[in-house]
């Protein structure tokens, strides 16, 4: 696939790509619609404080992690078209509730529920994988994610203007948020009718049981349990932070810790229920996959996407305080880190497609991230500002490119459970953000850059030891196992029985 191919709008797969990144763009636009309107909210509502806004910011990422896991399961069961459409329509409700919220409880709960819309990322990843061949998937996934992620930047650039000039008044921010929610719901309805799950009826491979990821050995099942623990367990970190901020009593926090523990236990039980019968029966050789690669890619997304979200949150303040810049200038310079996403992420996927070795590309990108953050850790006011900006863009190029390279590999690991693998890796990105942002509250910016550089080097080491080049990563089509064919035949048989019954 060439870059110029994205302009072939009559091509079915290109049309699907554009429809899907637009859906992703809109969901991220709505997801990040609070930050640019925060000052308007504070001016308009006299009972809101800066601490309330910080609390909403934490809630804004809280349920994204479990939502990505749950949506990943739903994808493998129902397909991305249904899941994406329903997600956009349903998430418009908390978005509207937040826009017109008149008390703290309403705003808190609606923002918490709305954080689930961040699961949209894994839906589009799965849809794109259904439409593109293995040899083109890196660029397609990178293009989708790069332009979709731009929705958050577009929200920051346009929402204040829409609130002030189009609507105006004290409630302008409410109407700006509400309109974005209604657009998302409308596009959800349009998406249902505008696209299919891949070019053929059989493109979407249904999994046997979507309640937990299938594995190939008893050892892999233990690794899956270990990988699952941080995904929900990290919510305990959020509860602790909210308690520390004084918004939650000790009793309330204890109850939430017990709930989180119960969810973790439930997930472990589901892993046993799904995999024990499969492993006792025996997994055919052609249906086995390399679970260590899933672990390696979880670590890369923790280190690259987690670092991206954390750095974007602190970079304006870093430039402002280190070089004595104004807030506007510091914000504009810091925005360069996010803008690189438009080019760097598709480039990461494209390089992964072209180099002929996706593992080697992944290793290069992760090492580059480590070098970049080490250089940022060395920055101080003695460095020329222009050099600091160049190092920031250099680092961002590797961060965003490695995200594209990560999802250039995932669809080739195990096609039938692409949704669950994408969901787990995507959730690890949010786990990384929560961990890094919590660490940032205890260290200086210099120490912070060295810590996330260490995270990148550790991920590089994990990839070196565990990541395996997927078989058929550049083939014309994805590998179909004997179990895939058996599931397909069972589905056809079930459809025939339903037809006869009618």
**So what's the pLDDT on residue 14?**
93
Assign 3-state DSSP to the chain and report helix, strand, coil percentages, each to 5. Answer: 80, 0, 20
Mean residue pLDDT of the chain comes to: 85
Rg (CA), the chain: 22
Q: Does domain 7-210 have CATH number 3.40.50.1820?
A: no
> How sure is the predictor about 27, in pLDDT bands with cuts at 50, 70 and 90?
very high
Which residue carries 């290793």 as its tokens? Answer: 363
CA–CA separation, 332 and 163 (whole Å): 21
**So what's the pLDDT on residue 496?**
77
DSSP letter at 340 equals: T
**So what's the pLDDT on residue 263?**
87
**What integer is the mean pLDDT of 213-232?**
91
Residue 449 predicted with pLDDT over 70: yes
Predicted confidence (pLDDT) per residue in 394-427, tens digit: 998 899 888 888 888 888 888 778 878 888 888 8
Count helices and strands (H / E) in the chain: 19, 0
Predicted confidence (pLDDT) per residue in 181-198, tens digit: 999 999 999 999 999 998
> How sure is the predictor about 369, in pLDDT bands with cuts at 50, 70 and 90?
very high
Residue bearing the bigger pLDDT, 477 or 451: 451
Signed CA dihedral, 266, 270, 271, 276: sign only: positive
**What integer is the mean pLDDT of 15-21?**
94
DSSP state letters, 461-500: HHHHHH--PPTTTTSSS----HHHHHHHHHHHHHHHHHHH
> How sure is the predictor about 204, in pLDDT bands with cuts at 50, 70 and 90?
low
CA–CA separation, 140 and 148 (whole Å): 12
Q: Do domains 7-210 and 213-501 have the same CATH topology?
A: yes
Closest CA to 361 of 492, 286, 469: 469
Residue 258 predicted with pLDDT over 80: yes
CA–CA separation, 427 and 297 (whole Å): 11
Contacts with 214 (C-beta within 8 Å, 6 or more apart), sequence order: 207, 208, 274, 275, 278, 416, 417
**So what's the pLDDT on residue 327?**
64
**Does residue 267 contact residue 232 with C-beta atoms inside 8 Å?**
yes
**Does residue 123 contact residue 87 with C-beta atoms inside 8 Å?**
yes
Closest CA to 90 of 116, 125, 60, 124: 116
> How sure is the predictor about 87, in pLDDT bands with cuts at 50, 70 and 90?
very high
% pLDDT > 70, the chain: 95
**So what's the pLDDT on residue 292?**
94
Residue 235 predicted with pLDDT over 70: yes
> How sure is the predictor about 328, in pLDDT bands with cuts at 50, 70 and 90?
low
CA–CA separation, 439 and 456 (whole Å): 15
Residue 225 predicted with pLDDT over 80: yes
Residue 123 predicted with pLDDT over 80: yes
**What integer is the mean pLDDT of 456-467?**
95
Token digits of residue 275:
């995999």
Q: What are the C-alpha distances in Å from 311 to residues 288, 338, 408?
A: 38, 10, 24
Q: Please give the angle made by the CA atoms of 418, 120 and 166, to the nearest 5 degrees.
A: 160
CA–CA separation, 302 and 424 (whole Å): 10
**Does residue 301 contact residue 406 with C-beta atoms inside 8 Å?**
yes
- CB-count exposure of residue 106 (10 Å: 0-12, 13-18, 19+): middle
User: What is the number of other CB atoms lying within 10 angstroms of the CB of residue 436?
Assistant: 23
Q: Where are the domains of the chain?
A: 7-210, 213-501
**So what's the pLDDT on residue 30?**
93
**So what's the pLDDT on residue 208?**
63
**So what's the pLDDT on residue 207?**
65
Q: Which of 12-26, 59-73, 359-373 has the lowest mean pLDDT?
A: 59-73
Residue 69 predicted with pLDDT over 80: no
Give the chain's end-to-end CA distance (angstroms, integer): 45
Token digits of residue 294:
């899933």
Residue 228 predicted with pLDDT over 80: yes
**So what's the pLDDT on residue 224?**
94
Contacts with 37 (C-beta within 8 Å, 6 or more apart), sequence order: 159, 160, 163, 173, 176, 177
Residue 25 predicted with pLDDT over 70: yes
Contacts with 322 (C-beta within 8 Å, 6 or more apart), sequence order: 379, 380, 381, 388, 445
**So what's the pLDDT on residue 223?**
94
Q: Which of 59-73, 172-186, 267-281 has the lowest mean pLDDT?
A: 59-73
Signed CA dihedral, 437, 443, 449, 452: sign only: negative
DSSP state letters, 415-454: GGGHHHHHHHHHHHHHHHHHHHHHHHTTS-HHHHHHHHHH
CA–CA separation, 491 and 357 (whole Å): 36
Token digits of residue 97:
């509730």
Residue 451 predicted with pLDDT over 90: yes
Q: Please give the angle made by the CA atoms of 43, 48 and 49, to the nearest 5 degrees.
A: 95
**Does residue 79 contact residue 197 with C-beta atoms inside 8 Å?**
yes
> How sure is the predictor about 210, in pLDDT bands with cuts at 50, 70 and 90?
low
Q: Which of 50-59, 181-190, 248-257, 396-405 has the lowest mean pLDDT?
A: 50-59
Domain 213-501: homologous superfamily in CATH: MFS general substrate transporter like domains (1.20.1250.20)
Residue 436 predicted with pLDDT over 90: no
Residue 300 predicted with pLDDT over 90: yes
**So what's the pLDDT on residue 182?**
96
**Does residue 116 contact residue 162 with C-beta atoms inside 8 Å?**
no
């Amino acid at each position: 696939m060439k870059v110029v191919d994205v302009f072939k709008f009559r091509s079915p797969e290109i049309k699907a790509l554009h429809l899907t990144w637009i859906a992703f763009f809109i969901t991220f636009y709505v997801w990040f619609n609070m930050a640019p309107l925060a000052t308007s909210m504070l001016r308009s509502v006299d009972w809101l404080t800066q601490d309330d806004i910080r609390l909403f910011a934490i809630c804004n990422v809280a349920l994204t992690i479990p939502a990505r896991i749950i949506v990943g399961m739903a994808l493998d069961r129902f397909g991305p078209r249904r899941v994406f459409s329903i997600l956009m329509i349903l998430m418009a409700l908390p978005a509207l509730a937040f826009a017109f919220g008149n008390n703290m409880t309403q705003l808190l709960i609606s923002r918490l529920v709305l954080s689930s819309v961040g699961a949209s990322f894994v839906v589009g990843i799965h849809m794109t994988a259904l439409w593109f061949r293995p040899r083109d998937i890196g660029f397609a996934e990178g293009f989708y994610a790069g332009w979709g992620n731009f929705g958050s930047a577009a929200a920051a650039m346009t929402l204040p203007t829409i609130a002030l000039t189009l609507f105006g008044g004290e409630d302008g921010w409410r109407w700006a948020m509400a309109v974005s929610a209604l657009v998302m719901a409308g596009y959800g309805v349009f998406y249902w009718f505008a696209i299919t799950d891949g070019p053929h009826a059989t493109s979407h491979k249904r999994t046997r049981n979507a309640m937990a990821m299938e594995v190939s050995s008893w050892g892999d099942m233990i690794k899956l349990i270990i990988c699952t623990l941080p995904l929900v367990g990290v919510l305990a970190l959020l509860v602790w932070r909210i308690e520390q901020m004084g918004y939650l009593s000790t009793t309330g926090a204890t109850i939430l810790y017990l709930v989180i523990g119960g969810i973790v236990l439930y997930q472990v039980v589901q892993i046993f229920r799904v995999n024990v019968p499969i492993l006792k029966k025996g997994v055919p050789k052609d249906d086995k996959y390399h679970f260590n690669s899933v672990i390696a890619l979880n670590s890369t997304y923790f280190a690259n996407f987690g670092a991206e979200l954390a750095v974007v949150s602190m970079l304006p303040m870093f430039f402002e305080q280190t070089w004595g810049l104004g807030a506007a200038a510091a914000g504009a310079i810091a925005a360069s880190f996010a803008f690189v996403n438009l080019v760097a992420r598709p480039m990461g996927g494209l390089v992964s497609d072209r180099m002929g070795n996706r593992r080697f590309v992944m290793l290069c990108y992760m090492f580059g991230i480590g070098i970049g953050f080490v250089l940022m850790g060395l920055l101080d006011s003695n460095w020329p500002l222009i050099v600091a900006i160049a190092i920031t863009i250099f680092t961002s190029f590797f961060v965003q490119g490695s995200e594209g390279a990560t999802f250039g590999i995932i669809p080739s690991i195990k096609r039938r459970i692409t949704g669950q693998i994408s969901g787990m890796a995507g959730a690890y990105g949010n786990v990384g953000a929560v961990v890094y942002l919590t660490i940032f509250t205890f260290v200086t910016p210099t120490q912070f850059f060295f810590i996330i550089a260490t995270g990148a080097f550790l991920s590089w080491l994990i990839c070196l030891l565990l990541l395996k080049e997927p078989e058929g990563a550049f083939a014309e089509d994805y590998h179909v196992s004997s179990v895939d064919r058996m599931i397909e035949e069972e589905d056809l048989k079930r459809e025939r029985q339903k037809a006869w019954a009618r």
